[in-house]
Amino acid sequence: MKKICIAMASLALICACSKQSSEGDGKVVEKPQIEVKNGQFTPEVMWALGKMGESAVSPDGKQLAYTLTYYDMEENKGNAELYVMPTAGGDAVRLTTTAKGEFNPVWLDDETLLFCRGNEMRSINVKSKKEKLLGTFETGIEGFKLSADGKQVVYITDLPVKRTPSVDPLYEGLDKTTGRINEDLMYRHWDNWVDEYPQIFVTKLDGTVDIEHAKAVVDSTFECPMRPWGGVEQFNFSPDGKQIVYTCRKKTGKDYSLSTNSDIYLYTISDGTTKNLSEGIMGYDQNPVFSPDGSKIAWESMEHDGYESDKLRLMVYDVKSGEKTDYTADFDYGVSGISWTEDGKEMLAVVMYRGMNEIFAFNVADKSIRQVSHGYHDINGFELKGDKIYATQVSISYPATIFTYNLKEDKKEGKQLTTFNNDILDQVKMGKVEEHWIKTADGKEMLTWLIYPYNYDSTKVYPALLFCEGGPQSMVSQFWSTRWNFQVMSGAGYFIIAPNRRGCPGFGTAWCEEISGDYGGLCMQDYMTATDWFADNMKQIDKERIGACGASFGGYSIYWLAGHNHDVKGYADGRRFKAFLAHNGMFNFDQQCLETEEYWFTNWDLGGTYWEKTPKTLKSFANSPHLFVDKWNTPLCVVHSEFDFRIVASQGMAAYNAAKLRGLEARYLYFPDETHWVLKPQNSLLWHRNFIDWFDKNLKK
């Protein structure tokens, strides 16, 4: 179900956040002024932090450009601005001041930065700050890439989905109707009605973008990049600029909904011919990257069709021979964000590795593998310039910033480069984070993070929260989020128990795969085992004041735990948990089976539809939480959003109604304008305040 989530606390925010844009586009959001009281990290403090977006290193390696977004709670918005700083360290210079926001910075040369703003592509001289309009795109622009010589550009724009001709007459004279007529599946995806789809076009760049003569790279029927996650990482120019390699799942409608089989295609610009490089590989193939000499192409490859969380293999294609080689055949971890070294002798990639996202290097000649970065952090992406690595890095205790690493060193901690949030973070007392390996019910070792309460005092006892991860195949890593933020929970005065239960990647393929078809099995035992271990071994945790929370599969976990929260040995009233909060969780599998949109997910993780009645489906659907409502005995808060098309809002409404009919204390927080995530600033603050209020009410009073 991919990554999901959210979190909470409270404090005084003093905003002097906006001024008029010189371009007349509205208010420009400036850095908020905030008073951090007693070092407490609250939702308001979290939202005052700058959010770093994309970054790019200049061709000479001396400058780093990045986008940085601040948010205005009163305006309920944020906008990104462009900054540039020396890679040797020092102060950053702000390049733009507009309300529209800038994105996709790309260096043309050492003095010229290209970027997007609204539906425009522009350039800016980083010394004079003088801008130039390069092109205006009527259907919008989502991002672009340059050829190595800077003379061509591939850009993403959206094309409208054409209505089926047979239904056109039905709309005659009805220009104000809002009705939708669909005759195939995949009419909605994650959080959007599929009214348009992305396409990539290639054209010349010579002072301006030659939009008039742009050529479509992909057949107009298919989306590229792939929704909902794909961006500019899904295509690349060859070093000589003569070809484009790209990702595409050439399916539509029902076929698209039932399959994850995307492929890597090689497009020749001169004659428009296309070749499928990954034909016969049945899972996701994505994010291709040419070697520096153009002789090889590397990409991320999954083996099985219909399985979104299969191991991401490092596949390398020899352009001359057509031979494909799996560089991770003997490596039990997946890769992402592949990059070649300048000499082509190694490939670097981010690897989910035992609770952290780390950079590993893969030797092309002998296939040896070494770990480059090391520490308690997540590296979410990086750029390689010579022997210098510029990594976008987070941890449970700090948001995205740039750290630098040396390519030639192994297992080293990075050096922080950007410091735009230090003035606030230096005022905050973050909760201590500990790594614990807990023995599971079947004798295996499970990594569980323990985050201590803010201002921890070892002579006191505190309530605790079990965090149930979404996904279901997602690692509980050192992630930072403005949704589920462990330090906000810590700031509210809670221990947080965060297990990497069965189904979490980063601990080998077998551990990850154990969850499919067994949602009510070992993964749930893992949650209960971790909770009991800390309740019994941490005297500072009040055993009778433990709650549980989670989103998506984590929300399902809450509903399932609610039905199995009785007659538990070792707890005073037989209840392990005294309060629950479920966000956008699966409640009724019969409903979920037919209400979701990517049906390959149901087929893989549940075994198929409920009417097929195979051993796997019978086991899966027997673990639907709605079947255990008669055992519910614990206060429950339900959160759900209208534009979540993966797990629709009726799931949350049904769970809440069931709790009320059971006579339980219950609360329903509904967002009519949010998706699988709660992203709008004011909605997020309400989410967080509700979260803290709910657990304070049930675990502190």
Decide: 343 and 313 in contact? Cβ < 8 Å: no
Q: Are 429 and 455 in contact (CB under 8 A)?
A: yes
Q: Cα-flanking dihedrals φ and ψ of residue 599, to 5°?
A: -75, -15
Please report the pLDDT score of residue 162 as a whole number: 86
Quote the CA–CA distance of 547 and 578 in Å, as a whole number: 5
| End-to-end CA separation in angstroms for the chain | 35
Check if 263 is active-site.
no
Distance CA 412, CA 372 (A): 7
Euclidean distance between CA atoms 71 and 567, whole angstroms: 47
Strand partners, 405: 389
195-222 pLDDT, tens digit per residue, is 999 999 999 999 999 999 999 999 888 9
Among residues 460, 479, 559, 476, the alpha carbon closest in space to that of 519 is found at 559
Q: Are 64 and 83 in contact (CB under 8 A)?
A: no
Distance, in Å, from the CA atom of 113 to the CA atom of 375, rounded to the nearest integer, reads 33
> Among candidates 276, 273, 260, which has minimal Cα distance to 308?
260
Is the Cβ–Cβ distance between 438 and 450 less than 8 Å? no
Q: Which helix (H) or strand (E) holds 226?
A: none
- The token duo for 407 is 């390519």
Strand pairing report for 63-72 and 398-406: unpaired
**Alpha-carbon distances of 212 from 136, 137, 139, 155, 159, rounded to whole Å:** 11, 10, 13, 13, 16
CB 158 within 8 A of CB 140: yes
DSSP for 171-186, please give it: GTT-TT-------SS-
566: annotated active-site residue:
no
What are the backbone dihedrals phi and psi of residue 128, each rounded to the nearest 5 degrees, phi first? Answer: -90, -15
Tell me if 260 sits within 8 A of 271, measured CB to CB.
Answer: no
Chain centroid to Cα 289, Å, comes to 21
Which residue(s) pair with 117 in the sheet? 102, 120
Q: What is the dihedral of CA 436, 439, 444, 446, to 10 degrees?
A: -30
Annotated active-site residue in 552, 557, 620, 641: 552
Across 461-502, the runs of DSSP E, i.e. the strands, are 462-468, 495-499
Identify the pLDDT of residue 25: 57
Helix (H) or strand (E) holding 556: helix 553-562
* Residue 173 CB partners (closer than 8 Å, separation 6+): none
Residue of 542, 644, 684, 688 marked catalytic: 644
Structure tokens at 127: 């010394």
**Checking phi first, is residue 460 left (phi over 0); if not, alpha (psi -120 to 50) or beta?**
beta
Q: What are the mean pLDDT values of the chain's consecutive 10-residue runs (701 residues total)?
A: 33 34 67 92 97 97 98 95 97 96 98 98 98 97 97 97 90 95 92 94 97 94 94 98 98 95 98 97 98 98 96 98 98 98 98 98 98 98 98 98 98 97 97 98 97 98 98 96 96 98 97 96 98 98 98 98 97 97 97 94 94 96 97 98 96 98 98 96 98 98 80
| Cα–Cα dist 504/333, whole Å | 12
Name the strand (E) or helix (H) holding 83. Answer: strand 77-86
Give, for 266, the enclosing helix (H) or strand (E): strand 263-268
Asked about 189 being catalytic, the answer comes back as no
pLDDT at 219: 87
List phi, psi (to 5°) of 543.
Answer: -60, -25
Q: Within its chain, how far is the Cα of 376 from the centroid?
A: 19
CA geometry: angle at 450 spanning 521 and 682, to 5°? 90
Three-class SS of residue 617? helix
Q: What DSSP character marks residue 164?
A: P
* 238 touches 245 (CB < 8 A): yes
Cβ neighbours, 10 Å, residue 611:
9
* Closest alpha carbon to 545 in 635, 475, 628: 635
How far apart CA 136 and CA 207 sit, in angstroms, is 13
Strand residues in 452-601 grouped as ranges (E): 462-468, 495-499, 541-551, 579-583
| pTM value > 0.85 | yes
pLDDT recorded at residue 19:
38
